[in-house]
Amino acid sequence: MRLGVLDIGSNTGHLLVVDAHGGAAPLPAYSYKEPLRLAEHLDDSGAVTRTGIDALAAFTAEAVVVAEEKGCEDMLSFATSAVREAVNGDDVLAVVRDRTGVDISVLPGEDEARLTFLAVRRWFGWSAGRLAVFDIGGGSLEIASGADEWPDIAWSLPLGAARLARSHFSHAPDEAGLKEIRRGIRTSIARDAGNLLRAGSPHRAAATSKTFRSLARICGAAPSAEGTLVPRALALTDLRQWIPKLTDMSPEELAGLPGVSPSRTHQIVPGALVAEACMDIFDLPELEICPWALREGIILERLDQFMIEPGA
């Protein structure tokens, strides 16, 4: 079947069209995305602004047209941290529904971690053993770990790169400010770290999504043009060497780095601090970069459901 997956993230709205059937990897057929930056379209009360709502509704309407033109049988629509935590999230989705007819569901943080873990498990397979997965999004950090297809533990923290950029990096912090930000990130992650550490060190640790891919590319990983099957990793030693350089760079210099989108330059340093904290707190010298993430997890779960439905 051909499916459309509409992912309303904290940074980007993304419609991924895939050809999928049970027993095979989802095959991307078309991608349509826009930098909505909802995590940054919040007012002082934590509500999505009218500008953000209008941008989301316009993108969703266009995504419906694209999905129809590409022959999608179904479109799975979901929103993550920015809408989930906005004080007017329900109103935002009601406006989108009224204007476009699309009913976007809000994905809880634990489910976001759980479904991302499923995608990474399917990518690496059973040979990965006990698996730990980390995902830095625009609004949140997801962590999950387990030995099966579904994680034993999964949780979400408000440590997304866009959120931190908005709350702590509107002006370049001085050395003392940067130290305080770093301490706050580590305290938040360490608070529940025992959930994962009590089970022992994972046999394999992986990271997904744009922030980790960009950091890995900065640190020397292969470019995306070489394809998804090329192994990529982010080493803690490399990241630690780069963080002081990144903090000293201007937005223009950051935009010139490999793997960095100009619209995300302000998120590189906060993302790097979160990545470093994850690797340090969980004693992980390296994270393998997985090309599959939440969208693939959504597709795989839908395929699993389809295979057991009567008449499927």
Residue 277: the pLDDT is 98
Sign of CA dihedral 195, 198, 200, 201: positive
R_g (Cα) of the chain, nearest Å: 19
pLDDT tens digits for range 170-204: 888 999 999 999 999 999 999 999 999 998 889 99
- Portions of the chain given CATH number 3.30.420.150: 109-294
pLDDT digits (tens, 9 = 90+) for 51-79: 999 999 999 999 999 999 999 999 999 99
**pLDDT of the residue at 3:** 94
Mean pLDDT, range 32-56, rounded to an integer: 93
Q: pLDDT tens, 113-122?
A: 999 999 999 9
Closest CA to 58 of 38, 44, 43, 30: 38
Start-end of CATH 3.30.420.40 domains in the chain: 2-107
200-250 pLDDT, tens digit each: 889 999 999 999 999 999 999 999 999 999 999 999 999 999 999 999 999
Instruction: Read off the amino acid at residue 208.
Output: T
In CATH, 109-294 is 3.30.420.150:
yes
Written out in words, the top-level CATH class of the domain with range 2-107 is: alpha beta
Say yes or no to pLDDT of 310 above 60: no
| Integer CA distances (angstroms), 240 to 132, 278, 280, in order | 21, 12, 10
Q: What pLDDT is recorded for position 28?
A: 93
Is 80 exceeded by the pLDDT of residue 309?
no
For the entire predicted model, the pTM comes to 0.94
Q: Any idea which residue has 């980790």 for tokens?
A: 212
Measure the CA–CA gap between 18 and 147, rounded to whole angstroms: 28
Query: Which pLDDT value is given to residue 215?
Result: 98
| Nearest alpha carbon to residue 133 among 123, 143, 124, 141 | 143
Stretch among 3-12, 159-168, 263-272, 302-311 having the lowest mean pLDDT = 302-311
What would the mean pLDDT of 118-136 be, rounded to a whole number? 97
